[in-house]
Amino acid sequence: MTAPLAGLRWGLGPGWLLRLKRCRRSAPWDLGIRSSASGKELLGLFSLNSDILLQSCRNYQAVLCTELTKPLIIRNLPSPSLQPHEVRVGVRYCGVNFADILACKGLYQKKHCLPFTPGMEFSGMVMETGANVSTVQEGDRVIGVTGTSAMAGECVADQKMLWPIPEGVSYEEAAALPVSYGTAILALDHRAHTQPGETVLVTAAAGATGLAAIDVAANVLKAKVIAAAGSDYKCNLALQKGAAHSVNYTQGSLKEGVKKLTDNRGVNVVLDAVGGDIFKEALHSLAWEGRIVVVGFAGGAIPSVPANLLLLKNVSALGVFWGRYREEDFPVFSSSLSSALWYCQERRIQPHVGAVFKLEEVNEAFSRVTQRKSTGKVVISMQ
């Protein structure tokens, strides 16, 4: 790839390379001026273009995926210019999601052109705003959602993709909210219409979305939660976070475990992030007119749905692809984030950050998630 094309890929204008060269060779302290007349002329030129030059000179560190399935690298990148509706945010924390890992393997629904910076959720402080930005100002604390580019010292986002962090909510907590709690709120409230007193089964219960679902179901929607996870440690963590009961599905049948805990009645709602055989057992665990909401396939296997079971028990199989709401129903998407921030400020929910890694430890962070050693949300710190 030629340098100008590389610049365009990063959203920089075609003159970015020339401006960077000017930064290196034409700074006023390195002009090699021989006469006052030429010096004034050059300094005048520098003054006219100082904003452009300074912006082009400013760099920030970012994670780069340069080759699919290969280790990620850290590089310094030039800060891009802002469009009128855009905001530059100094990133404090970035959440690590399974979708980021899939994207870096070329397995995610949305394919990204190489090289790209992963990361779809972040918290930080507004550094600069475009000419037409009216929703935030420099110094505001915000969370943001973007398809990529959040695992970096800076992130440029559309103003409508930023939400103010309320007083009392830390940057670390805020970074754990968007994807996990946005998904949990949409799945349990908007899609499944979970009612107080209903019983909710959550699979992969110690993961980021699992713990968020337990938090929302038990503490916001006032439902009774059965947590299903793959170890006693993870089951105990889920109990500490609000689940009433737990089932270790590596030690027996999930279906039978749920039967015992519900006196054979089954559960009203299932939030499944595993897929495969766990999904099938969870589906069989539904009560009359129960609802199962699919939010992912962490187990790797995408199951088929036996339609006869839907008919016989009058149950519903639903799906939630949280990010799609951004294009299809933005008010619902935005409401899920606003609600998560408000619940967090009110301390009705408490995000569980299981591990914090430095930017240069991004490969270790990804490994922690893929090897299922993580609990709750894993975040990258830029500090």
Buried b (16+ CB within 10 A) or exposed e, 146-183: bbbbbbbbbbbbbbebbbbbeeebbbbbbbbbbbbbbb
Coil, helix or strand at residue 125: strand
pLDDT beyond 50 at 15 = no
pLDDT beyond 90 at 37 = no
Q: Using one digit for the tens of pLDDT, what is the confidence trace for 324-346?
A: 999 999 999 999 999 999 999 99
Q: What is the mean pLDDT of residues 174-187?
A: 98
Q: Using one digit for the tens of pLDDT, what is the confidence trace for 154-164?
A: 999 999 999 99
Torsion of CA 242, 243, 244, 245, to 10 degrees: -150
pLDDT beyond 80 at 39 = no
pLDDT band at 32 (very low <50, low <70, confident <90, very high): very low
**Strand order in 245-248's β-sheet?**
245-248, 224-229, 199-202, 267-272, 286-294, 316-319
Q: Using one digit for the tens of pLDDT, what is the confidence trace for 104-119?
A: 999 888 899 999 999 9
Interatomic CA distance for residues 136 and 130, integer angstroms: 10
Buried b (16+ CB within 10 A) or exposed e, 204-219: bbbbbbbbbbbbbbbb
Coil, helix or strand at residue 120: coil
pLDDT beyond 70 at 131 = yes
pLDDT > 90: percent of the chain:
80
pLDDT at 16: 39
Q: What is the pTM of this model?
A: 0.85
pLDDT band at 56 (very low <50, low <70, confident <90, very high): low
Tell me the pairing of strands 199-202 and 224-229: parallel
Q: Using one digit for the tens of pLDDT, what is the confidence trace for 236-290?
A: 999 999 999 999 999 999 999 999 999 999 999 999 999 999 999 999 999 999 9
pLDDT band at 97 (very low <50, low <70, confident <90, very high): very high
pLDDT band at 7 (very low <50, low <70, confident <90, very high): very low
Q: Using one digit for the tens of pLDDT, what is the confidence trace for 296-333?
A: 988 878 999 999 999 999 999 999 999 999 999 999 99
- Mean pLDDT, rounded, of the chain: 88
Torsion of CA 139, 135, 148, 17, to 10 degrees: -70
Q: Using one digit for the tens of pLDDT, what is the confidence trace for 139-157?
A: 999 999 998 999 999 999 9
pLDDT beyond 50 at 9 = no
